[in-house]
């Protein structure tokens, strides 16, 4: 979407080969932030992103699901409607994240006047009425957004969901919104009691679009 991106397409292969990891080639366009998996057969994504015609116009929804199941070991896909940012056409990593199989942290919004209220609550309703790969109802932990807009007329909410999960910790964004920042950190810490929570100022990152999860990627372990 943001050309030139020829060099971007080389990064994955470079990292995998340097890590001496096994990989499988697939021609489907799929960014890391467009999916979340629970490691137990369930995947989260949005229709706005994966079905967008600027990604894989030659693939039907059924074929996209087939690819995700074949290459990621998935047998249950939960389709949310819309994300909250236009830059990525609605990546899911800004609105929901698995804590564990069957347990999800999800962005919430209680201000009915907020421009993202309808989108966020539509997604919450889908999550609350969905089941995982085992047929179990999901445990949804709501994580309210900061209502502090970082850029006037910004088209992206200040979402605490956009954090990075490290081996023994969590790196989460903060937004100079003391009350909301503290509340979000407490909720994330409660969801991940065995991990250390590190906060970094997400304001400058957000100005470029997205946040912590958007600019990080786990390095695969060598086999």
Query: Which residues form the catalytic set?
Result: 214
In b/e form, how buried is each residue of 96-112, taking b as 16+ CB within 10 angstroms?
bbbbebbebbbbbbeee
Of 161, 158, 157, 98, give the one whose Cα is nearest residue 130.
98
Place of tokens 């991940």: 192
CA distances for 214 relative to 17, 35, 49, 60, 114, angstroms = 22, 12, 15, 26, 23
**Tokens describing residue 147:** 């209502």
Q: 38's torsion region: left (phi>0), alpha (psi -120 to 50) or beta?
A: alpha
Spatial contact of 79 and 25, defined as CB atoms under 8 Å apart = no
């Amino acid at each position: 979407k943001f050309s030139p991106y020829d060099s971007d397409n080389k990064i994955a292969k470079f990292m995998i080969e340097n890590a001496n990891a096994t990989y499988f080639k697939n021609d489907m366009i799929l960014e890391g932030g467009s999916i979340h998996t629970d490691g137990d057969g369930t995947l989260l994504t949005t229709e706005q992103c994966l079905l967008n015609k600027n990604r894989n116009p030659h693939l039907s929804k059924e074929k996209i699901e087939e690819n995700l199941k074949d290459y990621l070991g998935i047998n249950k896909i939960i389709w949310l409607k819309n994300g909250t940012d236009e830059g990525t056409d609605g990546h899911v990593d800004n609105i929901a994240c698995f804590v564990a199989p069957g347990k999800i942290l999800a962005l919430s919004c209680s201000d009915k006047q907020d421009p993202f209220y309808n989108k966020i609550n539509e997604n919450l309703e889908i999550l609350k009425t969905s089941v995982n790969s085992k047929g179990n109802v999901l445990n949804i932990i709501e994580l309210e957004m900061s209502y502090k807009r970082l850029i006037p007329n910004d088209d992206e909410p200040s979402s605490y969901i956009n954090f990075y999960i490290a081996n023994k910790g969590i790196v989460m964004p903060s937004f100079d919104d003391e009350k909301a920042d503290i509340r979000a950190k407490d909720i994330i810490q409660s969801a991940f009691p065995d991990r250390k929570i590190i906060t970094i100022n997400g304001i400058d990152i957000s100005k470029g679009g997205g946040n912590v999860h958007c600019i990080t990627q786990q390095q695969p372990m060598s086999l």
